Amino acid sequence: MELSFSLADQLISRRLFSSAQKVIQRLISQCSSVSEATSAADFAFSRGMGLDLISYGCLIRKLVIFGEVWMAEALYMHCMVGKGLGPDRNLLNSMIICYCKLGKLEEAKSCFDRLIKLKVIPWVGSCNAIIKGFCVQDRVLEAYGCFCEISEASDIVQDFACYNRLVDGLCQRGFLDEGFHVFDVMIEQGVPPTVHVCKSLIISFCKWGRVEEAEILSTEIESYGSVVDN
């Protein structure tokens, strides 16, 4: 890092602030700890340069990755929102994950909605985080709503845990058509259904008195190569 600090110093002394800012951005992006990331930011402040939007985004993302979500939120509120700076797509994605880890789902959904309004597809990690967050708080229809928005905007593939969690949560609460829709999206996206998802659907259809549909579903599932024990 010392070589990079020296380079940034030289650029600042020559008043090449834009180039110096890029060096700081690279330092923050490549750091392997919170202390390294904050040291890079402190260096910029000590030289009277501060951080630009991209550098703040890099720093906040690193804080989220390293689990310092309270610090990330404080930095975002003070240095971005407090100064009236508009976050870019990368920062919005980072804040979705940050707010989900803090359990602040309204704030996470606000960032999510801003991305959708901008016609920007959220990162897979952001999608998984907000869907998981709503499911954990027993707000499965809101999780399903996010899933539908993502599916309609893109063919982005979620991880298995996301599909499993949604199907389980929806079916257990009697939202069978919604659960089956998630299953359909899995198939359309080329994601092989897990035995767990298949069992969850069939058992739930039977439990809620839709036995004939459960039998049809069982036959359909077998066509995908999955066998569900009776």
Query: What residues make up the domain containing 184?
Result: 157-230
Produce one character per residue of 193-227: b if its CB has 16 or more CB atoms within 10 Å, e if not. Answer: bbeebbbbbbebbeeeeeeebbeebbeebeeeebe
Q: Do 100 and 85 form a contact (C-beta atoms < 8 A)?
A: no
Would you call 166 exposed, middle or buried from its count of C-beta atoms within 10 A (0-12, 13-18, 19+)? buried
Confidence at residue 3, expressed as pLDDT on a 0 to 100 scale: 64
177 domain residue, yes or no? yes
In total, how many domains does the chain have?
Answer: 1
222 domain residue, yes or no? yes
Cα separation, 4 vs 30, in Å, equals 11
Q: How much is the mean pLDDT over the chain?
A: 89
77 domain residue, yes or no? no
220 domain residue, yes or no? yes
Q: pTM here?
A: 0.88
184 domain residue, yes or no? yes
Question: Tell me: the pLDDT tens digits for 79-138?
Answer: 888 888 889 999 999 999 999 999 999 999 999 999 999 999 999 999 999 999 999 999
Q: Do 144 and 166 form a contact (C-beta atoms < 8 A)?
A: yes
Q: Do 228 and 198 form a contact (C-beta atoms < 8 A)?
A: yes
Could you say which DSSP state residue 77 is in? I
161 domain residue, yes or no? yes
171 domain residue, yes or no? yes
164 domain residue, yes or no? yes
